[in-house]
């Protein structure tokens, strides 16, 4: 086996694994199908292993190909981080910065911050990695993270923004139609909007709701944005961030003395990026914008 495997061959391997065919990988990677085939053949020769077998539905990965996937993905992450770091060097705020956040923060809160950043720094490119998966800053899966838990890794620079409070909310039209609960016990007679899959994070929040559990929800959705859309549409009662509830349509908060869930909010990045002008500008803008967002609930 060759002592060093070229990255382009492993990159092609990932493309075939993700698409399940040479033609799909070619479209994904911007290569020709014969080139993809040559890359796979070269990698199989270098490894002395078969990586794919043909089937009526496409290419099936062998155990060897599946075992290589995580290692190739780590190389892909490192290559992307290297490219971002190279693009953001110098004393000008230019280049690419990758920011990870939840979908609610990324879609409902970050856009005006991004607009202001781009107006000040038109050479800035922002990649927004949104979702519930925690991107590893130490492995440089992202440059900056907005998180709802205190960062525990010692090599990170972290700034505490404050607490984003969650509360029970509903559209006034729903409450006029169905009534306003006077206690958590009264919630049993209402259409409740909540989660489908129970996670450790959900368990922590469910404890604050007394006897309310998954079985209590008439409308279930694991996507926070989906739950928010249902609450805004007047479908029932759900959990919402206080600053978001004050936007249009304005939502009415219920039982504030009986249910409140503060989420500690942090902005973090790797300490190696401390002197990176571009990353620092994005970090500071996120801290400033999120601080104003948290304060808008007061």
Domain ranges of the chain: 7-76, 86-162+263-295, 164-261
Q: What is the spatial distance between Cα 168 and Cα 258, in angstroms, rounded to a whole number? A: 10
pLDDT-derived band at 87 (thresholds 50, 70, 90) equals: low
pLDDT tens digits, 34-85: 999 999 999 999 898 999 998 887 789 999 999 989 888 888 877 777 776 6
Q: What is the spatial distance between Cα 183 and Cα 234, in angstroms, rounded to a whole number? A: 20
pLDDT, average across residues 17-46: 91
Sign of CA dihedral 184, 169, 110, 159: negative
pLDDT, average across residues 87-104: 82
Q: What is the spatial distance between Cα 123 and Cα 20, in angstroms, rounded to a whole number? A: 37
Least confident of 19-23, 118-122, 134-138, 245-249: 134-138
pLDDT the model gives residue 150: 84
Judge if 7-76 and 164-261 fold alike in CATH terms: no
CATH number of 7-76: 1.10.10.10
Which comes out higher in pLDDT, residue 241 or 7? Answer: 241
**3-state class (DSSP) for residue 74:** helix
pLDDT-derived band at 88 (thresholds 50, 70, 90) equals: low
What's the burial of 179, exposed, middle or buried (CB within 10 Å: 0-12/13-18/19+)? Answer: exposed
Q: What is the spatial distance between Cα 285 and Cα 295, in angstroms, rounded to a whole number? A: 15
Question: May I ask the CATH architecture of the domain 86-162+263-295?
Answer: 3-Layer(aba) Sandwich (3.40)
pLDDT tens digits, 229-240: 999 999 999 999
CA dist list (Å): 172 to 238, 248, 249, 285: 13, 12, 9, 35
3.40.190.10, 3.40.50.1970, 1.20.1440.230, 3.30.43.10: which CATH number matches 164-261? 3.40.190.10
pLDDT the model gives residue 135: 76
Question: For the chain, how many residues are written?
Answer: 298
For the entire predicted model, the pTM comes to: 0.71
Q: Residue 2 above 60 pLDDT?
A: no
pLDDT-derived band at 89 (thresholds 50, 70, 90) equals: low
Average pLDDT, the chain: 88
pLDDT, average across residues 202-225: 83
pLDDT-derived band at 199 (thresholds 50, 70, 90) equals: confident
Residues 6+ apart with CB under 8 A from 6: none
Which residues of the chain form beta strands (DSSP E)?
Answer: 52-55, 58-61, 95-101, 124-130, 144-147, 156-170, 193-194, 219-220, 238-241, 252-254, 261-270
Q: What is the spatial distance between Cα 43 and Cα 25, in angstroms, rounded to a whole number? A: 15
């Amino acid at each position: 086996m060759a002592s060093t495997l070229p990255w382009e061959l492993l990159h092609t391997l990932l493309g075939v694994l993700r698409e399940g065919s040479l033609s799909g990988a070619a479209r994904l990677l911007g290569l020709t199908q014969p080139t993809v085939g040559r890359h796979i053949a070269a990698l199989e020769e270098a490894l002395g292993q078969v990586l794919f077998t043909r089937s009526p539905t496409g290419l099936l990965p062998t155990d060897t190909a599946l075992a290589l996937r995580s290692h190739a993905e780590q190389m892909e992450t490192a290559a992307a981080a290297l490219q971002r770091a190279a693009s953001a060097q110098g004393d000008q705020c230019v280049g690419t910065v990758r920011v990870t956040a939840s979908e609610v923060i990324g879609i409902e809160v970050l856009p005006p911050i991004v607009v202001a950043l781009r107006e000040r720094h038109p050479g800035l490119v922002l990649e927004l990695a949104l979702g519930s998966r925690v991107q590893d800053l130490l492995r440089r899966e992202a440059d900056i993270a907005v998180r709802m838990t205190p960062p525990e890794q010692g090599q990170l620079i972290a700034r505490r923004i404050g607490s984003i409070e969650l509360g029970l909310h509903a559209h006034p039209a729903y409450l006029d139609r169905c009534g306003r609960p006077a206690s958590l016990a009264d919630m049993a007679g209402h259409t409740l909007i909540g989660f489908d899959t129970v996670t450790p994070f959900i368990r922590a929040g469910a404890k604050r709701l007394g006897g309310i559990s998954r079985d209590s929800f008439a409308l279930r959705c694991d996507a926070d944005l989906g739950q928010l859309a249902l609450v805004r549409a007047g479908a029932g009662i759900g959990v919402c961030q206080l600053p978001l509830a004050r936007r249009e349509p304005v939502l009415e908060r219920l039982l504030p003395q009986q249910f409140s869930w503060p989420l500690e909010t942090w902005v973090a990045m790797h300490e190696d990026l401390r002197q990176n002008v571009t990353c620092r500008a994005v970090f500071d803008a996120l801290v400033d914008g999120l601080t104003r967002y948290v304060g808008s609930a007061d």
